[in-house]
Amino acid sequence: MSTLYPNIRIFDGNNVIPSGHVLTQDWHISYVGVNPPATIPDNADDIDGTDKNWTLLPGLIDAHVHAYLLPGGGSEVFKTAMKCGVTSMLDMHNDPDLVNRLKKECRDSSELSDLKSSYHGATIDWGWPKPIVLVLDPSEENVKRVDKWPKLTPETAEDFVVKNKAQGADYIKLMQENGHCMSFHDLPPASFELQSALVQAARKHGLLTVAHATTLKETMIVLRAGVDGLAHTFCDQSPTPDLIALYKSTGAFVIPTLCNIATINDAERDTTFAFAHDPRITSRKAISAEEISCMSSSQGDCWIWWY
């Protein structure tokens, strides 16, 4: 299958071509340029941008998702991502069986976004996100599911990385959470030794590492351990010169998830209140008044499901 996009405004991720041409073949971009491609397949579809005021740009990446399905739900929910221009989703902690099923369905359908995943995150005994997941769903089935999560130590770090890679993991997700931003003040965080062992093992086996951290202290720990990137920015205080220097020296990236973080520090309280009281939400019989109240509040004051 081939498609030609002639006479169209193009943003290639770095530069803008006011009027150019793009050719895709078998779902891959084979040509981008100001002039038409030298060879165009006879059966190519033609989507002409002349006088259309269209812009063609690379597919968006949703860099932090949790690809869970509601009971009875299927992968068709991911069609929404594709409709919004999201062609890749990065899952940040999930059960391997579900991920493998979803990956296959995404590969087999042109209507579903590509899915990458860490599979199970590098969890510790009673560390993040186990307590919050059990508070939200204390059912026996969920307890059994969560009990299968890793309970890592520095000694078992490499075995975990090897197992995750064998299952199909695209990267390794570290969990560095002390709970202070979300009223979990006694939550045990992972040790620096564990995170260092995980980073070293991941590099040895050719995988990147990304880390959950929501406080400055925990962010500094994983950066010093050598993590490749952060899966959230932190929200308990302002950035410090030491943090900025550490980011610069390590070259680590950050997936800020600002909308998410803003619901913890009240920066989006008006927006969340309006969302929680929208008739399309309040009319749902399955949503209780308590849940609506929680959605209207800072997430630091409520039990939430994100990691």
Mean predicted lDDT score pLDDT of the chain: 90
| Strand ranges of the sheet holding 253-254, from the earlier edge strand across to the other edge | 171-175, 208-212, 229-230, 253-254
Spell out the SS3 assignment of 276-293. HCCHHHHCCCCCCHHHHH
Q: pLDDT tens digit string along 60-103?
A: 999 999 987 766 667 777 888 999 999 999 999 999 999 999 99
Q: pLDDT tens digit string along 225-283?
A: 999 999 999 999 999 999 999 999 999 999 999 988 887 777 777 887 887 788 887 77
Q: pLDDT tens digit string along 106-115?
A: 999 989 999 9
Beta-carbon contacts of residue 4 (< 8 Å; ≥ 6 apart): 21, 22, 23, 37, 40, 44, 45, 46, 47
d(CA 50, CA 75): 36
Q: What pTM did the predictor assign?
A: 0.85
Average of per-residue pLDDT across 202-228 = 98
CATH topology of domain 2-56: Urease, subunit C; domain 1 (2.30.40)
- Of the listed ranges 32-36, 59-63, 262-266, 292-296, the least confidently predicted one is 292-296
Residue spans per domain, the chain: 2-56, 59-117, 119-256
Class of domain 119-256: alpha beta
Beta-carbon contacts of residue 97 (< 8 Å; ≥ 6 apart): none
SS3 63: strand
d(CA 132, CA 138): 10
Say if residue 129 is preceded by a cis peptide, omega within 30 of 0. yes
